Amino acid sequence: MKISDRELVLGMATMACVLFGGTWFVINGKVAEWKSQKTEIYRLREQISRHQAAIRMQDDWLDELQELEQELRVFDLDQRSVSPELMKTIDLIAAKHALNISKTNPQKEQPTGDLFELGINCTWQGDLESVVGFLTELQQQGVRYNVRNLNIKPVGNNTGKLQGNMVIDCAFTRRADATGEDA
């Protein structure tokens, strides 16, 4: 039996159509899955990139944390209350700027790991210049003091005096060999 050239071409064309159709049938069902996987791969690569950048920044964060910890005041672990010393420091800064602090009320000490915070509610009276000077010096203390809440109202009509209250959060650490002095 002899196959003619025409039959050979038709057979090859039929075989090509069958192979193409079968390939299309198999691939068509997978295209949507491949696209979703491609999107997921792209998303995961972006996430990996962000995490690697955060890991590289960890050393910088640790260095910055150590610098900030060195600015904190250190008290002895056995010291019962640190609020008198902190209130004394606040009173000294207030006296330096002629701000009259009439009442201080320390709140409960809040530990957060190695860091401790103590809020001190202060009732004060003074002029605008003394309040600004006091707040400026507190700001220059770095992470030691943070004014969380500040209320101001005038005293009388055209007296130039102000009064109010503020909550000053004091940050510090405790160690077994500390003397209570500035770190």
pLDDT digits (tens, 9 = 90+) for 129-176: 999 999 999 888 877 888 989 999 998 888 889 999 999 998 888 877
Read off the CATH number of the domain in which 87 is found. Answer: 3.30.70.60
Asked if 41 and 4 sit in the same domain, the reply is: yes
Phi, psi (degrees; rounded to nearest 5) at 105: -135, 100
Distance CA 3, CA 8 (A): 7
> What is the number of domains present in the chain?
2
Q: Each residue of 19-38: pLDDT tens digit?
A: 988 888 888 878 888 889 99
Domain residues for the domain of 22 are 1-71
Question: Of 49, 71, 93, which residue constitutes the final position of a domain?
Answer: 71
The whole-number pLDDT of residue 59 equals 82
> Is 145 within the bounds of a domain?
yes
Same domain, 89 and 25: no
In a domain, 180, yes or no: no
Q: Confidence class of residue 179 from pLDDT cuts 50, 70 and 90?
A: low
Q: Which sign, positive or negative, has the C-alpha torsion 77, 81, 83, 86?
A: negative
pLDDT digits over 61-119, tens only? Answer: 888 878 877 778 888 777 788 888 889 989 999 999 999 999 989 988 888 877 889 89
